[in-house]
Structure 1
């Protein structure tokens, strides 16, 4: 049934405040949880964190005290939502186990977005990025086996394969080559705007997560791997945030943020297998409908336009976490050799790329390469999880090691 969040009424804002008892949600059981439930939790945490950070930035550029107060009221509720969502994660899970779930989000969410994206240029951006996150999953899975003596198969539950993607050491590019062309806000499909905002938000939380948890490890190889991949995630945030048209006004950006939250909560409510988690998605959707209504009023007041001019008249097809094995294998077979040059892509190493590689490597192998060799020496073989067929053979045009 079509659902237009701009026409729905949610819970009034003054009824949305929750007590500490209500925020003290029961975490999911890591031994029995659907891996895609964890993926939905991690995704919505990233979305809520982005909503909070964006609201803070808007407030810092807003001279009107009453508007700052209105933003603060909504932002406090968003912060409560973020706590409820993120506290669904099981406290017994290690940082590495959560990391593997973060990368499973990156792989399967970005693959789904790439498959559904109507704009070929934007689609290429997602295809490019997902092959790098796919490789990160493989590197962290080997680290997990090496230092915790466990296999990532239990976490990803076989729905996501674990094997090499574009090798991580090839992800280190000159910063100027991480900037893409933005979509055109006047002509882009509404779903394209939601896709860009979603992947930007989830990659941003991954970047923040790695930069904070990386130094908490004692093992040198773990510290170095988080540092290396953390720098790639900074590249990814640059890559994805540059897809958003910077010509959007503050109020248009606020409207898109709130609409996207409604879209994702509605999507996950429809696909969630855990009843207790589904109830949280439903509650938050009803809160976000009111946040969207308030953002729409601000948009009309300050931009002098109707929200329907920039938002879809009904929610698009629900975002779905599902296996993307065949899709990823096709990308591996055709795009593993890609790198970026300016705002486009090439399949041969170029001068800026080589200069960056030389400056970073210093003649030594990076942690992302050493973790595989060290796990092979310690465990007898490197860790891979292939559920069907053989890994395609690639010619790495960019490989120099």
Structure 2
């Protein structure tokens, strides 16, 4: 599929009325876990697109370009609202959070397994173990406070057990900045950096804006606060991987291409009838957006779309359903071999390889001044005290010996030298 070869509808035909913008929400008890995951991912892509265009408008004095961008942005905003309101009002904030973390885990694992750029793959592997741990912490909170099993929400597609402990993830900001990819990077690598940045940014924004409204407990509010800070670190990592040399309108074209790719991927495997209609409708609209962006690139920068995307055939589609078992094996392997890793500026290394006076230890000990009171640890500690052992959903023994004890939360792994 080359979206540039498709004939789109006229851009004005993409405007929707309120009836279409406000869809029938999915049934939280019936919808597949990956339907919820796709909705979050596509919502994140729309959010990223919209705010990118706001930044574009703030960095040009050409009001004609601003008007063109405003038109395109309005259409993207309508799509974003439609996806956002696809979520049902009876789904609690914490139930939604489990889907956010499942997306982070499974999306990252899928991208890492197909990524050919070794440095980008290393970044994905590194953050993967941290999002995996977040899923575990939030799942224990959910079961403890709402009596809802995380296993039910993830549809058994994703294991729930400790990853790199969240308390160990708090690094100095200097150590979250990565080397950017180069302009000659493959199309799939460019897409991967855009997709993962959008997904993690959506999670960061969800936690930073809604965490304070968590209604059940102060501990839950604190957990959203803590993990929200890690999501900031992840966005810092992933956005720094993206190619910074592209022009504003080249970036706009890539954003639209990325959305076409995501919607086409989603509609190709969606089982929920309402969701499939939304993804299909949005794909058809995105074709119009893409061609409009190509016109803007030619009008304002004198470039053809093929100069930005020489081979525009979609790479292998992004699918979740047929990757869940591969993901489980992959995550277990990454856990076994890299759980003790941290980062030193742009590189990754075992914690034992860094000097004792490295900034990581000072920063982590400052943030976690009293480890016993840190929210990510306290949630597990409280659960163990109440139920005797932590909550997990696993298909086999934990691959890391130090994380097999279900009666004690490990606050030293990847944080203290052996």
Q: 1:144 matched to which residue of 2? A: 142
Cα distance, 1:397 vs structure 2: 5.9
Cα distance, 1:394 vs structure 2: 4.3
67-76 or 388-397, larger mean C-alpha shift: 388-397
Cα distance in 1 between the residues matched to 2:133 and 2:335: 11
219-228 or 257-266, larger mean C-alpha shift: 219-228
Cα distance, 1:335 vs structure 2: 0.9
Equivalent residue of 1:345, what SS?
strand
Cα distance in 2 between the residues matched to 1:304 and 1:116: 34
2:61 maps to 1:58: no
Q: Which runs of 5+ in 1 are unaligned?
A: none
On the 8 A contact 1:348/1:397 being kept in 2, the answer is: no
TM-score calculated relative to the size of structure 2: 0.92
Equivalent residue of 2:371, what SS?
coil
2:282 counterpart (278, 281, 284): 284
81-90 or 4-13, larger mean C-alpha shift: 4-13
2:352 maps to 1:352: no
On the 8 A contact 2:101/2:135 being kept in 1, the answer is: yes
Q: Decide whether aligned partners of structure 1 residues 397 and 211 sit closer, same or farther in structure 2, where only a CA change above 3 A counts.
A: closer
2:378 maps to 1:361: no
On the 8 A contact 1:336/1:394 being kept in 2, the answer is: no
On the 8 A contact 1:49/1:82 being kept in 2, the answer is: yes
Q: How many matched pairs?
A: 397
Q: Decide whether aligned partners of structure 1 residues 394 and 243 sit closer, same or farther in structure 2, where only a CA change above 3 A counts.
A: farther
Q: 2:316 matched to which residue of 1? A: 317
Cα distance in 1 between the residues matched to 2:233 and 2:93: 22
Q: 2:406 matched to which residue of 1? A: none
1:128-173 CA distances to partner (integer Å, 9 max, x unpaired)? 1111000000000011111112211110011100000010011100
Cα distance in 2 between the residues matched to 1:271 and 1:118: 24
Cα distance, 1:282 vs structure 2: 0.8
Q: 1:237 matched to which residue of 2? A: 235
On the 8 A contact 2:6/2:287 being kept in 1, the answer is: yes
Q: 1:372 matched to which residue of 2? A: 380
Cα distance in 1 between the residues matched to 2:401 and 2:11: 54
Cα distance in 2 between the residues matched to 1:229 and 1:155: 20
Q: 1:259 matched to which residue of 2? A: 257
The ranges of structure 1 where at least 4 consecutive aligned residues each deviate by more than 4 angstroms after the TM superposition are 394-397
Cα distance in 2 between the residues matched to 1:282 and 1:264: 11
Q: 2:191 matched to which residue of 1? A: 194
On the 8 A contact 1:13/1:290 being kept in 2, the answer is: yes
On the 8 A contact 1:266/1:282 being kept in 2, the answer is: yes
Q: 1:330 matched to which residue of 2? A: 333
Cα distance in 1 between the residues matched to 2:138 and 2:281: 34
376-385 or 67-76, larger mean C-alpha shift: 376-385
2:406 maps to 1:399: no
Cα distance in 1 between the residues matched to 2:164 and 2:388: 24
Equivalent residue of 2:400, what SS?
coil
Q: How does 1:32-71 map to 2 (within 5 A)?
A: 32-71=30-69
150-159 or 347-356, larger mean C-alpha shift: 347-356
2:178 counterpart (170, 177, 180): 180
Q: Which runs of 5+ in 2 are unaligned?
A: 403-411
On the 8 A contact 1:135/1:166 being kept in 2, the answer is: yes
Cα distance in 2 between the residues matched to 1:297 and 1:122: 31
Cα distance, 1:209 vs structure 2: 0.4
Cα distance, 1:391 vs structure 2: 0.9
Superposition RMSD in Å: 1.4
Cα distance in 2 between the residues matched to 1:160 and 1:90: 22
Cα distance, 1:380 vs structure 2: 3.1
Q: 2:214 matched to which residue of 1? A: 217
Q: Decide whether aligned partners of structure 1 residues 394 and 251 sit closer, same or farther in structure 2, where only a CA change above 3 A counts.
A: farther
On the 8 A contact 2:339/2:414 being kept in 1, the answer is: no
Q: 2:167 matched to which residue of 1? A: 169
Q: 1:8 matched to which residue of 2? A: 6
On the 8 A contact 1:8/1:289 being kept in 2, the answer is: yes
324-333 or 358-367, larger mean C-alpha shift: 358-367
Cα distance, 1:276 vs structure 2: 1.6
Cα distance, 1:71 vs structure 2: 0.7
1:19-73 CA distances to partner (integer Å, 9 max, x unpaired)? 1111120011111111001000010000000010001000111211111111111
Q: 1:306 matched to which residue of 2? A: 304
1:97 counterpart (95, 113, 117): 95
